[in-house]
Structure 1
């Protein structure tokens, strides 16, 4: 763990009344970087107070509802990018399935499974720098069919997009596009060199201009500093992102980051709480790595987050859906398919 800087220590000293900080956020206060670093670097004996503060903000905007997402790896491997965290990148030696875009039948079977698992959103993901014309046309064709047959929201994750491609996705009925920032602008060159952080921001701006909702988050545990985690949260706030998936690095064998140390669950919970207070009204999703890094504390993450993936991730396995349903029920939460929030005052 990076040692707190003098500024961060000062933030901890000034912000130990987490309940009061939550009250101020609900009254319209926007966290500063100092506040956010203080939360991320707070002593573990303040963890429950931090989670209680996060829950106050979460409950105001989302009540006790939990949204479920189902992820379909529609094209695996074969990616020309060098993202060091990804098992599908050109620099990865991980043993994963590699295939081109799935058939219509397999994509529809995935949508059926999403509906059966109580998911409100079906995520279609391809590994690529950006979509080919064939891939864009396939998405344009199948999205109306998915929505008509299963009533699912559709989130497309197709890599870098041009404004014209984003407009075509919107016209086809795609509800939102996922394109993660992954880390801070300053740290991004450490994890990818084949495209830039600004390329990702440009894609998000194109998606917004097309009238689509933004789904963008990141990965914690890639060797970044605490300030990088905070700056990513603030960039997402500046972009007005509606949906934030927060991943915790699953250091897959065969990737450049395979030896990265495992995160501890208390730090992960503080990160979720910090993202909640920085982005109070955004949907916050505990994404990849939650089973590995949160372990027996997974349920506590729902005090900050209001969304999870149900089932597997891109190339790694998730826990059984029945375990997710049980966790949600035991926390006193309920599954919802709406994305309009559950404001309670």
Structure 2
């Protein structure tokens, strides 16, 4: 049975969130299990919080798939993992010139943050050398914020990235601690937490998010949001599973658009001041309701993802304009 909550109560959740109070598990479940008839007042309440911290600004991020495939991990959602048979491009780390060209493209797309992402459990020292060299040149020549996503970091690697000028490091929790063993067995949930804490220790902004639609319960979704609040992640990408053929999760169904909006509202209430980014899978899960997502989220990716296509960049720019929102340049 769906939970029925009045408009006044959603507004009360927004007020409490703005006052720094944290939702309980039961209140989080009320958001996720609300009637679809309540989605518009729910999103209005989420917008109260989003508007307080970010106004009508939207932060854009662009990903470059800097190293594709050949990954020894067995993550069930990923087309680049060792257990995937998806027909993807596979290549070693891109050279500095290609990474620089990607940075120029990010600026052309009006992205304020350029995300260098590489497959694998973690970077080799050789790969790290290449990334560090590219980052230093980008920082010297372009007004871009840089986010790196290279996997689990060894001793000394976080310090090198910070010294090179990486602003942010992404390492997603992906799912709940209880659900984690069903998604991957080649590393642990705790290892991911440790990497985010290591990043914070060296002064980089922590970015960590989730993938919705991997068999987790509603209570586990609430637990994910609470875990990221405790971790104090500055940026939280909310991905919705794109079940890629050839991956272990290829048969998983899409997240209904109305459920996806409730998830975004939940994360806004629990992590009110943080960058909430509607990320991978938004096009196929939210579909025509994508504009409503920005009433809770204040950030999105433009262009393609790692091995899947995004929507036309001009459509994203137009969506933001049509909402009466504004692209925020050069913001982390």
Structure 1 residue aligned with 2:217: 225
Gap change, CA 1:15 and 1:324, over 3 Å in 2: closer
RMSD, aligned α-carbons? 1.4
Contact 1:163 1:207 in 2 (8 A): no
Structure 2 residue aligned with 1:343: none
Match for residue 46 of structure 1 among 38, 62, 87: 38
Match for residue 72 of structure 2 among 70, 75, 80: 80
Contact 2:5 2:34 in 1 (8 A): no
Structure 1 stretches (4+) deviating beyond 6 angstroms?
Answer: none
Alignment partner of 1:267 is 2:259:
yes
Alignment partner of 1:130 is 2:122:
yes
SS at match of 1:124: strand
Contact 1:15 1:21 in 2 (8 A): no
TM-score, normalised relative to structure 2: 0.97
1:231-246 aligned within 5 A = 231-246=223-238
Match for residue 272 of structure 2 among 266, 280, 283: 280
Alignment partner of 1:173 is 2:180:
no
Distance in 2 (CA, whole Å) between partners of 1:199 and 1:21 is 33
Unpaired segments ≥5 residues, structure 1 = 341-345
Q: How far 1:339 sits from its partner (Å)?
A: 3.2
Which segment drifts farther, 136-145 or 194-203?
136-145
Structure 2 residue aligned with 1:319: 311
Distance in 2 (CA, whole Å) between partners of 1:62 and 1:337 is 13
Structure 1 residue aligned with 2:175: 183
Contact 1:222 1:260 in 2 (8 A): yes
Contact 2:70 2:82 in 1 (8 A): yes
**Cα distance per residue 1:294-317 (max 9 Å; x no partner):** 011000000000001010000000
Match for residue 295 of structure 2 among 277, 293, 303: 303
Gap change, CA 1:23 and 1:338, over 3 Å in 2: farther
TM-score, normalised relative to structure 1: 0.94
Unpaired segments ≥5 residues, structure 2 = none
The number of residue pairs the alignment matches comes to 332
Structure 1 residue aligned with 2:205: 213
Distance in 2 (CA, whole Å) between partners of 1:328 and 1:15 is 26
Gap change, CA 1:146 and 1:18, over 3 Å in 2: same
**Cα distance per residue 1:222-259 (max 9 Å; x no partner):** 11111111111110000110000000000000000000
Distance in 2 (CA, whole Å) between partners of 1:159 and 1:149 is 26
Q: How far 1:24 sits from its partner (Å)?
A: 1.8
Structure 1 residue aligned with 2:325: 333
Q: How far 1:151 sits from its partner (Å)?
A: 1.2
Distance in 2 (CA, whole Å) between partners of 1:112 and 1:149 is 10
Contact 2:113 2:330 in 1 (8 A): no
Distance in 2 (CA, whole Å) between partners of 1:160 and 1:94 is 24
**Cα distance per residue 1:256-304 (max 9 Å; x no partner):** 0000012110000000000000000000000000010001100000000
Q: How far 1:16 sits from its partner (Å)?
A: 6.8
Match for residue 189 of structure 2 among 197, 221, 245: 197
Match for residue 10 of structure 2 among 18, 22, 41: 18
Q: How far 1:51 sits from its partner (Å)?
A: 0.2
Match for residue 50 of structure 2 among 58, 71, 77: 58
Q: How far 1:320 sits from its partner (Å)?
A: 0.6
Structure 2 residue aligned with 1:120: 112
